[in-house]
Structure 1
Amino acid sequence: MRIWSLDPGYLDRQGLVACWRETLLAQAVLQGRTKGYMSHPQLVRFRAQADPVIAIGAYLQGVLSEASARGYRFDATKISSTGEQELMPVTTGQLLLEWDHLGAKLRTRSPLKAQQNLQALRALRASTGETAVPAAHPMMRVVPGGIEPWERAKPG
């Protein structure tokens, strides 16, 4: 399961659909509706929120928004709870790790999307500075730091 910290706009079609489905599974776990993935490390950050179900709902809203912008018809009624959610922190190190991880997937699965993402990051860095990181999911705020403690993927 990969619940991306990156903006869903970076995902290709397959990645966006997988993210939606996997996050719906995570929502079921947080609601106690399934026993699978109960100890999945990526759920740590949602469980740390005041209301984990609202937090995962806010995440799903971001994925739904991107899907709708692309003309996909994801079922919004599958999002159990929505409401006010503070932006969840994500570190620069985590975003960069995920950027590399996604890039590796896209180079084989969707080379055009991989190239578009690289161009977008180059443009961002040209306008804001060489240390700019990829955009985070809309319900997250970027903070300085290394790879998140819950992350199991290895850099490189």
Structure 2
Amino acid sequence: MRIWSLHPRYLDQKGLVACWRETLLAQKVLTGATTGYRNHPQLLRFRAQEDPLAAVGAYLQGLHDEATARGYNFNPTKILVAGSPVAPMEVTDGQLTFEAGHLRAKLEVRDPARIAALSDFPETHPLFRMVAGPVEEWERL
């Protein structure tokens, strides 16, 4: 499961669709609707929020907005908690650097032209706010 901290505009088509599907799975895990992935480290940051489902909903909304801008048809009714105000979640610049490198490696194979979009230091997903720090503790290195 990869729930990117990077802005979804950096993701290629496969990456964006996979992130949508994996975040929907994360939403199911948080509701108790599935037993798989319950202890996945990517979920720790959402579980730490005051309202984890609202945080996942805000994350999914950011993916939906990007998909809509690209002309894709992601179903917004799959977002269980939509439109609730959610405080920005922090993500470290070390985590963003790690994810940008990870994404670059994937894009070199799948969509080399998109790598140019990562030339500047990447922006965060709209849910996140960047702070100084190392790679997040929950990340599997």
- TM-score computed with the length of structure 2 as normaliser: 0.97
Segments ≥4 residues shifted beyond 6 Å: none
Relative to structure 2, which stretch is displaced further, 4-13 or 107-116?
107-116
Q: Which residue of 2 aligns with 1:138?
A: 126
Q: Computing the radius of gyration over CA atoms, which structure comes out larger, 1 or 2?
A: 1
Unmatched segments (≥5 aa) in structure 1:
122-132
User: Is the aligned partner of 1:32 residue 2:20?
Assistant: no
Q: Which residue of 2 aligns with 1:23?
A: 23
Q: Which residue of 1 aligns with 2:68?
A: 68
- Distance of 1:84 and 1:31 partners within structure 2: 19
Other structure's SS at 1:141 match: strand
Deviation of the 1:115 alpha carbon: 2.7
1:6-155 to structure 2, matched below 5 A, reads 6-82=6-82, 83-118=84-119, 121=120, 133-152=121-140, 154=141
Aligned residues, how many? 140
**What one-letter code is carried by the residue in structure 2 that aligns with 1:102?**
L
Other structure's SS at 2:91 match: strand
Contact kept in structure 1, 2:100 and 2:118, CA below 8 Å: no
What percent identity do the matched residue pairs reach?
58
The alignment yields a C-alpha RMSD, in angstroms, of: 0.7
**What one-letter code is carried by the residue in structure 2 that aligns with 1:4?**
W
Q: Show CA shifts across 1:12-48 (max 9, x none).
A: 0000000000000000000110000000000000000
